[in-house]
Amino acid sequence: MTNATYTPGPWAVEPLQWDDGASIAIVAAGQIIATISPENEDESPDMHTAKRGPHDEANALLIAAAPLLLETLRIVTEDEEICTCHARSWFGDHHDTQCPITMAGDAIAKAMGA
């Protein structure tokens, strides 16, 4: 296993500017991480005429959630008392945003576009 260094999050989904928004870009701090081209890219489409595959937007959202998913998994795998903070939140108004289970829920929501 390597010690890969990834572009820090957060990552976001937005239209790619240089093709008039026809492609979907995943960006972080102004750097393009990945792009998803439209199915009709040979026709030089723009934002309004681009034809998307059925999973293009969902895939872009999942890619953009990658840094949060990775950090959550790191916490989950390193925390021996993972359920302690989540159990407290069930018995009152306590909502611990640093709870790994809460973070996992946030990562899933981001991947789903919420």
Would you kindly state where each structural domain of the chain is located, as residue ranges? 1-54, 65-114
Q: How far is CA 76 from the centre of its chain?
A: 18
Residue with the larger pLDDT of the pair 82 and 49: 49
Judge contact between 7 and 31, C-beta under 8 A.
yes
> For a pLDDT cut of 70, what percent of the chain falls above it?
76
For the stretch 15-18, contacts whose Cβ atoms lie closer than 8 Å and that sit 24 or more positions apart, written own/partner, are 15/47
56-88 pLDDT, tens per residue? Answer: 999 999 999 999 988 887 777 666 565 555 555
Distance CA 4, CA 13 (A): 23
| pTM for this model (two decimals) | 0.73
Q: Is 3 helix (H, G, I), strand (E, B) or coil?
A: coil
- For residue 100, with 0-12 CB atoms within 10 Å meaning exposed, 13-18 middle and 19 or more buried, which class applies? buried
* Cis, peptide link before residue 38, omega less than 30° from 0: no
